[in-house]
Amino acid sequence: MGIFSRDLIVNNYYALDKKRCLEEMVEFLFKRDIIVSVEKFFKAIMERENLMSTGIGQKVAIPHARTQFAKEMKIAVYKLDNEIDFNSIDSVAVKLIFMIAVPDQKKDEYMKVLSGISNFLRIEENRNKLFNSNDAEELYNTLKEVKV
């Protein structure tokens, strides 16, 4: 089984700003029974963001938290209608966000997943396929190519 789920992909989401987008993504994970607390998981996500932005550049961000408040390792993917300031390392606004919820005990799997996503996104053709996808199904089919 792959690391992405079709039901955790949102296409054409309009984000007001970074904080509200992250709040919405946390609520999305909570509604799907992946995390146990919106407040506590959001706090963990923001603590990670405050250490260093997860805007990795090239219009992509990978906010993540390894915490006891995550029931299982899952990834919510939002492709934005607009682009938002994410304080990215290259100062470029973000269009694609991968939020990873990771249970405390899943450190090794988590590092493999983070590495697999990063390696996939380093390739411009892969990023363009994601940016240019028309719907969540197309996004999902492209993400199935990520190797972990």
Q: Name the average pLDDT for the chain.
A: 95
> Is-contact 100 70, C-beta < 8 A?
no
Q: Whole-angstrom Cα distance, residue 104 to residue 130? A: 29
Nearest residue to 10 (alpha-carbon basis) of 25, 22, 20? 25
**Predicted local distance difference test score (pLDDT) of residue 148:** 84
Q: Given a cut of 70, is residue 1 above it in pLDDT?
A: no
> Is-contact 40 30, C-beta < 8 A?
no
**Predicted local distance difference test score (pLDDT) of residue 91:** 95
Q: Given a cut of 80, is residue 54 above it in pLDDT?
A: yes
**Predicted local distance difference test score (pLDDT) of residue 81:** 95
From the candidate CATH numbers 3.40.930.10, 1.10.357.10, 3.40.50.1970, 3.40.50.300, the one assigned to the domain spanning 7-143: 3.40.930.10
**Predicted local distance difference test score (pLDDT) of residue 83:** 97
Q: Given a cut of 80, is residue 23 above it in pLDDT?
A: yes
Predicted TM-score (pTM) of this structure:
0.96
